[in-house]
Amino acid sequence: MKKKIFILGLVVCAGLFFLYFNKFDRQVQEQFQGRLWELPALVYARPLEVYPSMHLVPELFEKELILMGYQRRKGSTELDTPGTYARMGSSFDLFLRVFDFGDETLPLRRTRVRIKENRVIQVKDIKTGREREMDRFDPVVVGRFYPASMEDRVLVNLDQTPPLLGKSIVAVEDRNFYTHYGIDPKAIFRAILVNIKDLRLSQGASTLTQQLAKNFFLTPEKTLIRKINETFMAAALELHFSKDEILEAYMNEVYLGQDGKRSIHGFGLAADFYFGKSTANLAPHEMALLVGMLKAPSSYNPRTNPDRARQRRNLVLELMADQGLISSSQLKQGLAASLGVIQKPVKGLSPFPFYLDLVKRQLLKEYPENDLRTMGLRIFTALDPQIQLAAEQAVSDFLENRNSSLEAGLVFSATATNEIYALVGGRDFRYRGFNRALDARRPIGSLVKPAVYLTALAQPDSYTMVSRVSDGPVKIKNHDGTFWQPQNFDKKSHGQVGLFQALIHSYNTATVTLGLDLGLDNVSNTLEKLGAKPETPGLPSILLGSMDMSPIQVAQMYHTLASGGFYTPARAIRTIYTLEGEALQRYALTIEQRMDPGAVFLVNKMLQGVVSRGTGKSLNKWLPRDYSIAGKTGTTNDLKDSWFAGFSGSHLAVVWIGRDDNHSTGLTGSSGALQVFGRLMSKISNTPLDLAVPENIEWGIIDSITGYRTSGDCPNAVSVPFIKGSVPEKFQPCESDFQPTQPSDQPLPESSSKAEPPIKQKTKYLMDWFKEIFK
Amino acid sequence: MKQNLFVRWAAICSILLLIPFFMASCAKTIIPSIPQTHEPPRQVPEIGEPPPGKTIEKPVQPQPEKPSIPAPQKEPRPAILNTLIRKAEKELLLRKPDIAFQTLERALAIDGRDPEVWHLMAKARLMNEQYRQAESLARKSNTLAGDDRSLKKKNWKIIIRSLEEQGRVEEADQARRSVDSV
């Protein structure tokens, strides 16, 4: 009977044992079938493409290399590992890393880049000596979107890592790894003896498999139950997976340090975090240091405890030599070597948090946040680190020694594609806070005016650049019975002025008069086509920019002008790749013609006038006139907001300077934002704005005083672009009476009718009289 | 009314008599017909620029300092741009419009004002059957094409085809007339 009970008990125990094991077995299988780790999304800047004749400032180039995590060496011969460079004056030798760009993967290679007077004059493959048309560098990491655990890792395959690394891990952590089945009884027995002797659980006997099981599935507390569970799990792992698979998983799983909130997991990331290398390029002493850290990553952190880390590394090196993994000369070399740890490449979570914020917002419109944080996506953006750094420098240089309450927002984009190359959201560039470039919605003041003039010029039968408009006092009755009486900035009226003069000098009253003639709905319609979203119903005050917009919205609006009337949505992201390298989504360029290129051309000509002769004239302090920048200043009431929006042939930038408390900045658009714009544009490469003349444009020779057509040899003759068919018919020959008495961009003499093109003026001259007769 | 007619005829006759005198007096001042040129006439400054040799500008504020950076210089087309264009053309021949479009986007980052790049983008989108995009891209190429008539014609062909595919027949007819004018 007792025997039966014993057997029954044994069977029940075996059943329970089996059930218990089965539970873990299933858990292990399920977990390993899915994704093993939650991997953060990686956000990249645009890869730098270097080719002969490109503009490249050596200092900015080097700054980008540092952001890319490249280490400087003294000479070309010392480029021993990928991710290193040597600089000789304006010549750079680089040992470039392997990188998968999505559309191609470039291998390890050594490249020489020679720069002369800020231009690349040669890109050469150092090994073959062959000149290259272009080289493409692995991009700066702008940031990561982490899982809730804040775990970060770079996955490595066992075949990508040097065998010595795996062997060293085994030698140090679990010598019998290849012979046991997940549990090492000898090690357990040894640990029990030590623990009994010490009367506490000080000695562990975990195999690599057990450690992996613990990290994957269990809590870190040292309890007996957890230990039993760990054993079951380890056995289940060994049952289903090969030793190499377990070792690979271990190498990717282990914790190897902390970077603020972010925890460093796996040898792939640790190699990069501590040495700026991939695991494939680790030297034996570097492997020894990382393997040594497994025991206690914070105690043996080479950055905070270098001496302790060195001792531990040397111990591991000796163990490696004892096991025959390295030769005695390697041991000698390794013991003598410095720790070789790099400085933390980037402080904080992202070098450019404001830009990262923009990327995240765009992503969250389309992807669930959890997917972003766990799927290991690779996100390629348009961020240009060199321009970003130049933009930050421009903002900080301007704000230096000024009121500390002044804040800034800046958006920089490409005129061709409307890709956002740089973004500044405030004066503290590394702070993840209120992003003024995206969220500071403020009145735009005179930045709205080009939309008013564009509305006019899109009606060539009624308006041309030389049409007259009254800049006299304006008084408009509000709904509540009060009056709105806008004034010019100089508090003066300028009589009848040409549209060109009214815009370049930013006359308020002329603009309001013109806008009211055009109709608020028409102006709003233009604003909408440009990409702004004016509030409805519109009030006359929108004609002077009493509409709130953020810098990025203004950039969108001005981009449509800069691209000749073609609307392109602003983009920060280029492509998203899955962990497996498939393109998940591409954000390709799209364009839509929204405005007549002819009318936009005329407005852009006027905006060039703003910079060459009008309110934006002080830009000439920063850039030669030959760049023909087009732009517009904006200043709001009591100098609360200082704006400038402008573009060259290649780039557009919008700058806002203001205060979060909405008090006066004491700055106009010209004395504030424009100065930041100028600083920035003078530091980077730009193409002059050579406006392409659309098909429907013709030129008339116009007397700048009378506004009539005249002959080319007339002293006041200026060439003026018109939409075909709108050149004034009236011709006036040169008259000695008509000597220039005022600048050619000054108001024209009063005409009989408000905003009436010269075409309708009365005849005054003999030739006109004859023409009348022959009618 | 009759009197008015009489005055007109009298004036006309007297003018006919006076024509030779006028011809002589106007010999030096040639009155141009409406001066329609597509590009700005070179002999006169553009609006907003001071007349040559005249200092009529009254400085209202101190003259800005001279900028430290040099004036831009015209650079030759980088060789890589040609390579990328050729690559995109090959990709289009192989009917890989998406890949070609990506290549062309890289080319745009080098020179965003190259009409050929925009033209090829239009071609890629036409192949993708994205007719609205093809039309816009071709129009954009036209705005940058300057005097390149051959390229303009090619763009117009894309525009016409895109309009037809969208069922915008009248606009397509109008576009055909534009090709003829090119």
Q: What are the boundaries of each domain within chain B?
A: 79-181
Residue A534 is predicted with a pLDDT of 79
Residue B61 is predicted with a pLDDT of 46
The widest CA-to-CA distance across chain B, in whole angstroms, is: 79
Region of poorest pLDDT, from A289-293, A323-327, A629-633, A741-745: A741-745
Q: Does position A742 have pLDDT exceeding 70, yes or no?
A: no
Residue A21 is predicted with a pLDDT of 74
Q: Does position A749 have pLDDT exceeding 50, yes or no?
A: no
Mean pLDDT is highest, among A4-18, A219-233, A481-495, B90-104, for: B90-104
Predicted TM-score (pTM) above 0.95: no
Model confidence at B54, in pLDDT bands (50, 70, 90)?
A: very low
Residues A702-726 have a mean pLDDT of 87
Residue B39 is predicted with a pLDDT of 67
Residues A633-644 have a mean pLDDT of 95
Residues A268-281 have a mean pLDDT of 91
Helix (H, G, I), strand (E, B) or coil at A442: strand
Residue B180 is predicted with a pLDDT of 76
Residue A221 is predicted with a pLDDT of 66
Residue A537 is predicted with a pLDDT of 67
> Burial, B162: exposed, middle or buried (Cβ in 10 Å; 0-12, 13-18, 19+)?
buried
Model confidence at B66, in pLDDT bands (50, 70, 90)?
A: low
Of A38, A62, A78, A173, which one is the catalytic site residue? A173
State yes or no: is A446 an active-site residue.
yes
What distance in Å separates the CA atoms of residue B49 and residue B43, rounded to the nearest whole number?
13
Question: Would you say A416 and A559 are in contact if contact means Cβ atoms under 8 Å apart?
Answer: no
Distance of alpha carbon A566 from the chain centroid:
23
CB-nearest to B47 from A133, A715, A719 is A719
Q: Does position B29 have pLDDT exceeding 50, yes or no?
A: no
The amino acid present at A146, given as its one-letter code, is Y
Contact call for B61 and A617, based on CB within 8 A: yes
Of A76, A168, A206, A446, which one is the catalytic site residue? A446
Per DSSP (E only), the strands in A704-740 are 717-723
Model confidence at A204, in pLDDT bands (50, 70, 90)?
A: low
The amino acid present at A659, given as its one-letter code, is R
Model confidence at B21, in pLDDT bands (50, 70, 90)?
A: very low
Dump pLDDT digits (tens) for A538-586: 789 999 999 999 999 999 999 999 999 999 999 999 999 998 899 999 9
Residues of B in contact with A623 (CB under 8 A): 67, 69
Q: Does B159 touch chain A (CB under 8 A)?
A: no
Residue A349 is predicted with a pLDDT of 62
Residues of A in contact with B53 (CB under 8 A): none
CATH 1.25.40.10 is the classification of domain B79-181: yes
Dump pLDDT digits (tens) for A153-194: 988 999 889 999 999 999 998 888 888 888 777 777 777 777
**Helix and strand totals (H; E) in chain A:** 23, 32
The amino acid present at A722, given as its one-letter code, is F
Question: Would you say A468 and A751 are in contact if contact means Cβ atoms under 8 Å apart?
Answer: yes
Region of poorest pLDDT, from B20-34, B66-80, B95-109: B20-34
Instruction: Compute CA distances A22 → A36, A197, A424, B62, B167, whole Å.
Output: 20, 35, 56, 87, 66
Q: Please give the mean pLDDT across all residues of chain A.
A: 88
- Which residue of chain A is at minimal alpha-carbon distance from B7? A773
Region of poorest pLDDT, from A18-22, A445-449, A739-743, B13-17: A739-743
Q: Does position A764 have pLDDT exceeding 50, yes or no?
A: no
Contact call for A591 and B36, based on CB within 8 A: no
* Neighbour count for residue A169 (Cβ, 10 Å): 23
Among residues of chain A, what percentage have pLDDT more than 90?
Answer: 65
Q: Does B10 touch chain A (CB under 8 A)?
A: no
Region of poorest pLDDT, from A359-363, A441-445, A692-696, B137-141: A692-696
What distance in Å separates the CA atoms of residue A630 and residue A761, rounded to the nearest whole number?
32
Region of poorest pLDDT, from A30-44, A223-237, A710-724, B26-40: B26-40
Residue B82 is predicted with a pLDDT of 94
What distance in Å separates the CA atoms of residue A24 and residue B176, rounded to the nearest whole number?
74
Q: Does position A775 have pLDDT exceeding 60, yes or no?
A: no
Residues A408-434 have a mean pLDDT of 94
Contact call for A692 and B50, based on CB within 8 A: no
Dump pLDDT digits (tens) for A76-99: 999 988 999 999 999 999 999 999
Q: Does position A750 have pLDDT exceeding 50, yes or no?
A: no
Tokens of A260: 């603020």
Interface test with A, best of B22, B110, B143 (most A CBs within 10 A): B143
Residue A451 is predicted with a pLDDT of 97
The answer for B 115-144 residues in CB contact with A (under 8 A) is: 121, 132-133, 136-137, 139-140, 142-144
How close A627 gets to chain B, by Cα (Å)?
7
Question: Would you say B29 and A686 are in contact if contact means Cβ atoms under 8 Å apart?
Answer: no
Contact call for B46 and A718, based on CB within 8 A: yes
CB-nearest to B67 from A414, A465, A624 is A624
CA dihedral for A10, A11, A16, A18, sign (positive or negative): positive
Q: Does position A738 have pLDDT exceeding 50, yes or no?
A: no
Residue A430 is predicted with a pLDDT of 82
Regarding beta strands A442-443 and A548-549, do their DSSP bridges make them parallel or antiparallel, or are they unpaired? antiparallel
- Which residue of chain B is at minimal alpha-carbon distance from A708? B34
Model confidence at A605, in pLDDT bands (50, 70, 90)?
A: very high
| Phi/psi-derived region of residue A535, left when phi > 0, alpha when psi is between -120 and 50, beta in every other case | beta
Helix (H, G, I), strand (E, B) or coil at A503: helix
What distance in Å separates the CA atoms of residue A397 and residue A391, rounded to the nearest whole number?
10
Residues A674-702 have a mean pLDDT of 92
How close B31 gets to chain A, by Cα (Å)?
7
Choice between B14 and B86, residue whose per-residue pLDDT is larger? B86
Residues of B in contact with A586 (CB under 8 A): 98, 102
What distance in Å separates the CA atoms of residue A639 and residue A443, rounded to the nearest whole number?
11
Q: What are the backbone angles phi and psi of residue A55, rounded to the nearest 5°?
A: -75, 125
